Amino acid sequence: MARSSLTPWVMTLSGSGSNFIVRTKTADVAGLATSVKKKWDDLHAEVPLSFSFLDDRFNDTYKNEQNIALILGIFAGLTIFVACLGLFGLATFTAEQRTREIGIRKVLGAYIASIVALLSKDFIRMVLVAFLIAAPAAWWVMNQWLLDFAYRLPISWWIFALAGVLALLISLFTIGYRAIRAASANPTDSLKVS
């Protein structure tokens, strides 16, 4: 239904009276179902009543897409978590490699904010480059998937902007902890002669 366009059609009830649609505004759907079942049993005792709700049938149409969205959401969450672990490990390694440099900068009067910016700028640059590579690929994949649907909305630019900002914030949060800790360390510990 969702993947093909609507064509002209006519709804008719069969002459046998075995199919009908009931439109209701009642809040007591269970009571209405009982009442309709009773009337049905009075008229057609040999045929059991089988009914369904149109909103349930409509929701079943998109059940496959909802399952795919759930699975992709779980994998996206796991991917972000693993990427954050890798980013944290890389930030820790970089901070350890530059311990003496950070100590010298602190002795010469550098502020914690400038040291954090120094440690974070390379990672932020990598995240931005990755976003610039991933955004067109994601747009193309989404566009190809949406081509299967007869009625669809265009892909808005703000979705990609929001994804880029979220990726930047997550990476800043991941890197920031380690960078602040490295910048706050006592410079005498890193400048001791071994």
- Residue 18's SS3 state is coil
Q: How many domains, the chain?
A: 1
CA 153 – CA 177 distance, rounded (Å): 40
Q: Is residue 125 situated within a structural domain?
A: yes
Q: Is residue 67 situated within a structural domain?
A: yes
DSSP string across 106-152 = HHTT--HHHHHHHHHHHHHHHHHHHHHHHHHHHHHHHHHHHTT-SS-
Within 44-111, residue ranges assigned H as helices are: 54-61, 63-97, 99-107
Q: Is residue 12 situated within a structural domain?
A: no
- Model pLDDT for residues 22-57, shown as the tens digit of each residue: 777 777 777 878 887 888 788 776 777 777 777 887
pLDDT band at 167 (very low <50, low <70, confident <90, very high): very high
**What is the structure's pLDDT at 42?**
80
Q: Is residue 45 situated within a structural domain?
A: no
**What is the structure's pLDDT at 9?**
62
Q: Is residue 95 situated within a structural domain?
A: yes
Structure tokens belonging to residue 152: 């669809």
Q: Give the structural domain span for 171.
A: 63-191
